[in-house]
Structure 1
Amino acid sequence: MCDSDIEEKLTNFSVKSIREIRNGTNKVFLCEMFGNHEEKILAVYKPIKGERPLSDFFTGNLSLRELASYEISKFFGWPNLPPLVIRDGPFGIGSFQKFIDHDPKNNYFNLFNDHQEKLKLVIIFDSIILNTDRKAGSIILDSQNKIWAIDQALTFNPYTRLRTVMFEYNQMKISEDIISQIKFLIQQLEDKGDIYITLSELLSKEEIDSLIERTKSIQRKQKIPSLDPYYNVPYPLI
């Protein structure tokens, strides 16, 4: 099933059951959603009303940031982010993201050795979107041995810093192919192409300008940014 089909289901299916996932700062729910002929999809629902105040992010726009992250991943075709939409739900407007079935015992730390190239795409992506919260548990593996990145809401704020557990990639060189794709993103943003129009509905002009400058820096240096273990670490690690 392609991403657009999943997005359509997330947008139009009805929520039939819901239970809270109690492992984060904000309110998060696992939903069963049903369409015609009882076709079902599981989704993670994060209502805006369930956001708790943070010192470095405005309350009420985390869903927009997570959708902006997803749109950039679609632009590149990497890394793998579960399809996501914003719509009304049982507790008001929020994000609905396809639930990826996975073993919660697996995370970045024990997946690194077998998935280094796919994980490298995640840290490049995080450097672009300025992810302030890449914990080990936000890297998951599905039953088809496919790596997914989840929880990209704390992103794009130019007054924060990259926080990650992925220090194995510190200042690692980025391939010419990926640099070419990054350059194309810059061109599309500066030319106000489709991706710019999409992001302008989700982020402030200042955040998009910062995105462009940050991405230009990555393109120019052709390597993953320098990471300081005393400065660029999330809490908790998992």
Structure 2
Amino acid sequence: MSAPERIPPRGVTAGPVPAGPAAGSVPGPGPSAAAGPARSAAPSAGPAELLAKGELTVRGRIRDASNAALFCTVTYDGREASCVYKPVAGERPLWDFPDGTLAGREVAAWEVSEATGWGLVPPTVLRDGPYGEGMCQLWIDVVPDGELLALVDGEEAGPGWKAIGLAEVGEDRTALLVHADDERLRRLAVLDVVINNADRKGGHLLPAAGGRLYGIDHGVTFNVEDKLRTLLWGWAGEPLTAEAVGVLGALRDALEPGGSLATRLAELITSAEVEATRARVGALLASGRHPEPGGEWPAIPWPPV
């Protein structure tokens, strides 16, 4: 087997952010660029408070995003941070998700991530902004952190890697797509099952300072139907870790009617979607294993990276 050909992780942008949002990308500004109250139950301090209460200033548009995504700064109480603001008005209609719901799903994914204690999703809130209500998420600066995805010749992933599947890389040539056998990715694979993530691409994996790894772009999540599409199939069929079982048990309790997480999610997704989330957690605990592709839905998103 040849040495892996590295597939570098992609950040939130593919290049420099241009000055000013693109004309006609979203409707004209609302009454004010200042923050309105966040609908999700944000902590009383820290990045979520800054995102929810700060003054939001648009600096440019992220042009490779499928929906309107704006690079911004947010300022509050002497603090400033960079962030991504995705207004509901800039969401493209999807046949399998109700219109205007993607921003709430992004916030719901953060709420579930916080409930796990793993911190796999950047702080995310729902708030008013210059183009109306939308999702506002802390910007993550990507740092070099080894290889998360790679292409290898041969049929075996090799030590330190987990196989995803064969990929066409040129005329009459295929290679094995693999991801790192990394505990952070394994936690993210569990989170993706819980939130029913229909679009876990390689470009949505952001290694950050301090050895942290974040997942972003969670607009197509929490559907009541099974839509899991991900690159993180390397542990399919393997037993869950003891840590994951403990986390899932706590999630199940928090998702019971009247539970802390169920209450927060009820403000962001439908009651049927909250119940489906609880059912997925229960199914994971009952099986004790990472799920395998079901065959009724494409298992890997396109493009994968």
Tell me, yes or no, whether TM beats 0.5.
yes
* Unaligned ranges ≥5, structure 2: 1-42, 151-160, 162-178
Other structure's SS at 1:43 match: strand
Q: Find the aligned partners of 1:127 and 1:145 in 2 and give their Cα distance.
A: 23
Match of 2:93 in 1: 53
Q: Find the aligned partners of 2:44 and 2:138 in 1 and give their Cα distance.
A: 10
Match of 2:200 in 1: 134
Q: CA deviation at 1:3?
A: 9.1
CA gap of 1:107–1:13, structure 2 versus 1, over 3 A, is: farther
* Unaligned ranges ≥5, structure 1: none
CA-atom RMSD, angstroms?
Answer: 2.3
Deviations 1:165-208 (A, max 9, x none): 11212122112232122122212322421111111111111111
Q: CA deviation at 1:228?
A: 5.8
More strand by share: 2
Q: CA deviation at 1:49?
A: 0.2
Structure (1 or 2) with the larger CA radius of gyration: 2
More helix by share: 1
Q: Does 1:219 align with 2:259?
A: no
The one-letter amino acid paired with 2:46 is D
Deviations 1:120-175 (A, max 9, x none): 00000000110000001101111333211111121010124100011212122112
Please identify runs of 4+ aligned residues in structure 1 that moved more than 6 A: 104-107
Q: Find the aligned partners of 2:231 and 2:253 in 1 and give their Cα distance.
A: 30
% identity of equivalent residues: 29
The one-letter amino acid paired with 1:83 is P
Q: Find the aligned partners of 1:166 and 1:96 in 2 and give their Cα distance.
A: 26
Other structure's SS at 2:149 match: helix
Match of 1:31 in 2: 72
Is the Cα–Cα contact under 8 Å of residues 237 and 292 in structure 2 kept in the other structure? yes
Is the Cα–Cα contact under 8 Å of residues 145 and 211 in structure 2 kept in the other structure? no
Other structure's SS at 1:156 match: coil
Q: CA deviation at 1:18?
A: 2.0
Q: Find the aligned partners of 1:78 and 1:122 in 2 and give their Cα distance.
A: 9
Q: Does 1:11 align with 2:77?
A: no
Deviations 1:3-31 (A, max 9, x none): 94111111122123420001121000110
Q: Find the aligned partners of 1:67 and 1:182 in 2 and give their Cα distance.
A: 19
Q: Find the aligned partners of 1:174 and 1:79 in 2 and give their Cα distance.
A: 19
Q: Does 1:231 align with 2:271?
A: no
Other structure's SS at 2:96 match: coil
Q: CA deviation at 1:91?
A: 0.9
TM-score, normalising length from structure 1? Answer: 0.90
Other structure's SS at 1:18 match: strand
Question: How many aligned residue pairs are there?
Answer: 235
- Choose which of 124, 138, 157 in structure 1 pairs with 2:190: 124
CA gap of 1:104–1:180, structure 2 versus 1, over 3 A, is: closer
Q: Find the aligned partners of 2:246 and 2:57 in 1 and give their Cα distance.
A: 44
Q: Does 1:65 align with 2:105?
A: yes
